[in-house]
């Protein structure tokens, strides 16, 4: 049997293990990862027992003997746009016909034509994506693992040096004392592509910057001489209990930062009683996330981008409802992707690399020496570089190609029907007019959001829109639950939003940064920091319950002058008011 690298437990105070003579592989839950170290074992299936209870814990995925496996040399022959095979997680797929339709462009696939693409594929695709995208006849079967040569593109020397330096200088997690610390560390640890996607914002980044700055324009009006010994931060969002007045906003591609991706957030939220919004573009499948909840009553919300093929969205929503999600976050500010220039520059860097590869033997036959370009081929030999594939898209553009630009208020009817009337929250409301329409159409909640400054630059911040609602239609705050996101980095930011009538706030990027270097522990530490800051703020302004917060505790004069005076509220006479069928 080939020797493989596996994890073994050596802390016998907690767990006892014994190896079994079975073949396969396993993944150890992160909760016991601190007790692990790497070691080589020929027998990768383990039985664990808790010494206190003697209850066996099996962690194994036995691998049955495979017959008729492909040789990787055969796969390597199909290495161009006329015949393109790739290996994903030990299985070969014929993706030739899929090349023109790949959201990220054909180039990214052709970089791995005839080879193992798992390293590139895994961080940005939920398990099962390729199986669902290709017809069965394109599933070519397992490849003999003894013949596979994994293709791992090494980081640049500068990138590797920077990461090694960051690792040496990384402060202990306990010394991360605010959310900005996580962002700084993530900027050093993440790959260029991952950092560009996580941190990018639209055009001149004005709105992205203003998101954080707007909170600094609100002052507290603290009350003193009050008993503030015991503070409660618990509340309810859309009928679900939450220990803290914020939830984790849906943020895509968490596996770009950590192998466990969104599961780090699921664990962190489950252990602290928070609600998690799951991105439609999550790198872990939504049902896998649902099956990974820490407690049965843990609340998950699902973000929906309406598909150009509405039937696919209908089918998806039914599956989401069946998986136990409690609400739908309908994203309404993405009719087209914003111009995110950092993401674009990262794409250009990859394209330049592709251009080099396409002219230096990248698409070569398996027997041709590596590095022999088209100019070096024997006269008359076929060249695979005659036609370059279309340029690939940036990460943001690639994952949004399926999204419909035609979403309208009328779509709410079929969305409700597809989810058995789960609560719907509109994510991306930016004016008082649309907030009023949301009430009239029976929406349960809205998130005042500019997509983290990633869509339309010079769009209003969530705070600006909240003040606009307070000025022109304050009754909206009584009719539906209003949340905001964008630029929230402090517990004081959360308290300010609640004082102005928000039910709660959402944070996305800070948790991507936290998990990138620390996994679940980073998520838990970020939650701990925000909790501490909120407790301090509550006591220092003289309140102990969220219900005691109000506009009398803040001074908004520095922002009030930026709130528009003239608005035209919708004429409701022609709107068919929605009524629940429950």
> What are the φ and ψ backbone dihedral angles of 39, each rounded to 5 degrees?
-160, 155
- Report the pLDDT value the prediction gives residue 31, as an integer from 0 to 100: 46
- Report the pLDDT value the prediction gives residue 362, as an integer from 0 to 100: 30
Give the span between the Cα atoms of 525 and 514, in whole angstroms: 8
- Domains of the chain in start order, with CATH, are 4-62 (no CATH), 72-147 (3.10.120.10), 175-187+201-217+233-330+414-528 (3.20.20.70)
Give the span between the Cα atoms of 510 and 301, in whole angstroms: 19
Residue 405 and residue 383 in contact, taking contact as beta carbons nearer than 8 Å:
no
Active site residue 451: yes
Q: Could you tell me the sign of the dihedral formed by the alpha carbons of 548, 551, 555, 559, in that order? A: positive
Active site residue 458: no
Which residue of the set 6, 102, 125, 451 is catalytic? 451
- Report the pLDDT value the prediction gives residue 570, as an integer from 0 to 100: 80
Dihedral of the alpha carbons of 224, 227, 233, 239, in degrees to the nearest 10: -110
| Total-model pTM | 0.76
- Report the pLDDT value the prediction gives residue 476, as an integer from 0 to 100: 98
Question: Quick one: which of 518, 37, 452, 38 has its CA closest to 257?
Answer: 518
- Report the pLDDT value the prediction gives residue 33, as an integer from 0 to 100: 42
3-state secondary structure 16-32: EEEEECCCEECCCCHHH
At what angle are helices 462-472 and 491-499 packed, to 10 degrees? 10
Which residue of the set 93, 197, 198, 305 is catalytic? 305
- Report the pLDDT value the prediction gives residue 402, as an integer from 0 to 100: 74
Question: Quick one: which of 222, 262, 269, 221 has its CA closest to 246?
Answer: 269
For strands 139-142 and 91-94, give the pairing.
antiparallel
Contacts of 161 (CB under 8 A, 6+ apart): none
pLDDT in tens, the chain (582 residues): 343 333 333 333 333 333 333 334 444 444 444 334 333 333 444 444 444 444 444 444 445 555 689 999 999 999 999 999 999 999 999 999 998 888 777 888 998 999 999 888 888 888 788 888 899 999 999 999 988 876 555 555 555 565 666 666 677 899 999 999 999 999 998 988 899 999 999 999 999 999 999 999 999 999 999 999 999 999 999 999 999 999 999 999 999 999 999 999 999 999 999 999 999 999 999 999 999 999 999 999 999 999 999 999 999 999 999 999 999 999 999 989 889 887 777 764 544 444 433 333 333 333 333 333 333 333 333 334 334 444 555 555 555 667 889 999 999 999 999 998 899 999 999 999 999 999 999 999 999 999 999 999 999 999 999 999 999 999 999 999 999 999 999 999 999 999 999 999 999 999 999 999 999 999 999 999 999 999 999 999 999 999 999 999 999 999 999 999 999 898 755 444 444 443
Strand boundaries in 55-95, DSSP class E: 56-59, 61-62, 79-80, 83-88, 91-94
DSSP per position, 400-433: TTTB-S---GGGHHHHHHHTTS--EEEEEE-SHH
Which residue of the set 333, 343, 457, 493 is catalytic? 333
Give strand pairing partners of 331.
427
Contacts of 408 (CB under 8 A, 6+ apart): none
């Amino acid at each position: 049997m080939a020797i493989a690298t596996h994890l073994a437990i050596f802390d016998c105070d907690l767990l006892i293990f014994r190896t079994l003579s079975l073949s396969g592989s396993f993944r150890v839950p992160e909760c016991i990862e601190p007790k692990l170290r790497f070691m080589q074992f020929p027998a990768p299936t383990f039985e664990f027992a808790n010494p206190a209870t003697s209850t066996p814990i099996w962690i194994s995925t036995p691998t049955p003997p495979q017959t008729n496996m492909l040789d990787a040399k055969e796969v390597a022959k199909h290495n161009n746009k006329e015949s393109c095979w790739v290996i994903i997680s030990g299985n070969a797929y014929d993706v030739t016909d899929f090349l023109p339709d790949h959201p990220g462009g054909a180039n990214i696939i052709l970089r791995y034509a005839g080879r193992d693409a798992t390293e590139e594929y895994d961080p940005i695709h939920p398990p099962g994506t390729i199986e669902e995208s290709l017809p069965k006849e394109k599933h070519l079967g397992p490849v003999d693992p003894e013949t596979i040569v994994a293709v791992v593109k090494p980081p640049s020397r500068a990138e590797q040096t920077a990461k090694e330096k960051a690792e040496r200088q990384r402060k202990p997690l306990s010394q991360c004392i605010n959310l900005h610390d996580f962002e700084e560390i993530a900027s050093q640890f993440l790959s260029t592509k991952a950092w560009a996607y996580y941190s990018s914002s639209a055009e001149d980044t004005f709105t992205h910057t203003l998101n954080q700055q707007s909170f600094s324009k609100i002052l507290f009006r603290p009350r003193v001489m009050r008993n503030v010994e015991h503070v409660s931060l618990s509340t309810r969002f859309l009928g679900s209990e939450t220990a803290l007045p914020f939830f984790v906003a849906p943020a895509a591609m968490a596996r770009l930062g950590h192998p466990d991706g969104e599961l780090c957030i699921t664990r962190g939220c489950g252990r602290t009683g928070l609600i998690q919004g799951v991105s439609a573009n999550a790198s872990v499948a939504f049902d896998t996330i649902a099956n990974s909840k820490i407690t049965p009553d843990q609340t998950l919300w699902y973000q929906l981008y309406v598909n150009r093929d509405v039937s696919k969205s209908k089918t998806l929503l039914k599956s989401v409802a069946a998986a136990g999600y409690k609400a739908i976050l309908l994203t309404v500010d993405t009719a087209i992707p914003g111009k995110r220039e950092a993401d674009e520059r990262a794409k250009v860097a990859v394209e330049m690399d592709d251009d080099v590869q396409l002219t230096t033997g990248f698409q070569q036959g398996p027997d041709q020496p590596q590095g022999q370009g088209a100019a070096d081929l024997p006269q008359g030999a076929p060249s695979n570089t005659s036609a370059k594939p279309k340029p690939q898209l940036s990460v943001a553009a690639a994952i949004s190609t399926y999204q419909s630009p035609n979403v309208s208020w009328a779509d709410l009817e079929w969305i409700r029907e597809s989810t058995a009337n789960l609560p719907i929250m509109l994510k991306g409301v930016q004016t008082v007019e649309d907030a009023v329409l949301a009430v009239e159409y029976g929406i349960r909640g809205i998130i005042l959001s500019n997509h983290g400054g990633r869509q339309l630059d010079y769009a209003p911040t969530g705070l600006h829109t909240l003040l606009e609602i307070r000025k022109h239609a304050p009754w909206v705050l009584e009719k539906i639950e209003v949340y905001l996101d964008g630029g929230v980095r402090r517990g004081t930011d959360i308290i300010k939003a609640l004082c102005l009538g928000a039910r709660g706030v959402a944070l996305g990027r800070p948790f991507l940064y936290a998990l990138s270097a620390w996994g679940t522990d980073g998520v838990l530490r970020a939650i701990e920091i925000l909790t501490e800051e909120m407790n301090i703020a509550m006591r220092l302004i003289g309140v102990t319950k969220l219900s005691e917060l109000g506009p009398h505790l803040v001074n908004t004069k520095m922002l009030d002058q930026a709130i528009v005076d003239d608005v035209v509220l919708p004429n409701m006479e022609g709107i068919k008011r929605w009524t629940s069928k429950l």
